[in-house]
C-alpha cells in the first residue's frame, strides 16, 4: 500500500473516531480480539484521538457487548 493510500486510510479512521468515537473503538476492539489485524490497527489509531474517559467508556461497551452476546467473540 502506497504512502498516499495509508494517509487517506488514516484520515478516514480519524473521521470515524470523531463521528462514532467510543462505539467505533468498541467494535474495532472486538475485531482485534477475534484476530483481525485491521481491527487492532484501526482501534489503536482511533484511540490516539480519544480521551481517557472515552477509552474507558469504549472498553466498557465492548465488555458489555461480550457479556450480553458471547457470540461476538466467535464462540
Q: Model pTM?
A: 0.70
Q: What is the pLDDT of residues 16-40, one digit of tens each?
A: 667 778 998 999 999 999 999 899 9
Cell of 63: 465488555
pLDDT score, position 73: 80
The stretch 38-43 carries a mean pLDDT of 91
Three-state SS string across the chain, please? Answer: CCHHHHHHHHHHHHHHHHHHHHHHHHHHHHHHHCCCHHHHHHHHHHHCCCCHHHHHHHHHHHHHHHHHCHHHHCC
Question: 36 phi and psi, to 5 degrees?
Answer: -85, 110
Amino acid at each position: 500500500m502506497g504512502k498516499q493510500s495509508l494517509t487517506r486510510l488514516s484520515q478516514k479512521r480519524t473521521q470515524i473516531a470523531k463521528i462514532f468515537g467510543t462505539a467505533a473503538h468498541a467494535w474495532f476492539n472486538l475485531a482485534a480480539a477475534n484476530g483481525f489485524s485491521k481491527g487492532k490497527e484501526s482501534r489503536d489509531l482511533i484511540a490516539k484521538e480519544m480521551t481517557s474517559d472515552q477509552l474507558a467508556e469504549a472498553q466498557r461497551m465492548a465488555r458489555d457487548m461480550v457479556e450480553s452476546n458471547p457470540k461476538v467473540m466467535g464462540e
